[in-house]
Amino acid sequence: MPTFPDDIPTVPAPPLGLPAGTPPPGFVQAQTPIQRSGGIGLWLRDLFVSAVASVLIITFLYQPVRVEGTSMLPRLEDRDRLFINKFVYHISAIERGDVVVFHYPRDPEKSYIKRVIALPGDRLRIDHGQVWLNGKRLLENYVPEEYRDSRSYAEMVVPEDTYFMMGDHRSISSDSREFGPVERSLIYGKAVFVYWPTRDAGVVH
């Protein structure tokens, strides 16, 4: 009499009245070793594809960076770690209010993170700390009163293909008030999300 492995059940004959080959009611086909190994293979394949996709996303779309300094307080603190989107400005325009990362104009080996205040063609002046754009007072809710200063900046029109940058902590920030508007070619990412420390985690506005 033939024997069968324990994990491959025999198939009883169907009850009378059922076509040959029809499993009886309540019958469940057990997976064979080949089926199980195929399932593991699919799982490993999906895991590999996910890992590769994650590496590609981080490499070509997002980059982790660390903030050094306090010129973007209160939103960004010294040593905060965040992701910047390196691809977004290839498909969309830089906008006022964006927090961006760029190569420092006086030393491209260094990177700065600041907020975009004025776009190419904007008429800008700063009167005792208050920014005026195109004749209108700029409302800056991201700058707390205790971080404001009384510096002024003569009226100018932002040159073509450049952007005027300022830090949110105005009283200590080194920004376009010192080194002038930043060329578009030096801007390489937009700050999107703080991931560490957890108390600061969240979208960058």
The residues carrying an active-site annotation are 71, 114
Q: What is the spatial distance between Cα 118 and Cα 134, in angstroms, rounded to a whole number?
A: 10
3-state secondary structure the chain: CCCCCCCCCCCCCCCCCCCCCCCCCCCCCCCCHHHHHHHHHHHHHHHHHHHHHHHHHHHHCEEEEECCCCCCCCCCCCCCEEEEECCHHHHCCCCCCCEEEEEECCEEEEEEEEEEEECCCCEEEEECCEEEECCEECCCCCCCHHHCCCCCEEEEECCCCEEEEECCCCCCCCCHHHHCCEEHHHEEEEEEEEEECHHHCEECC
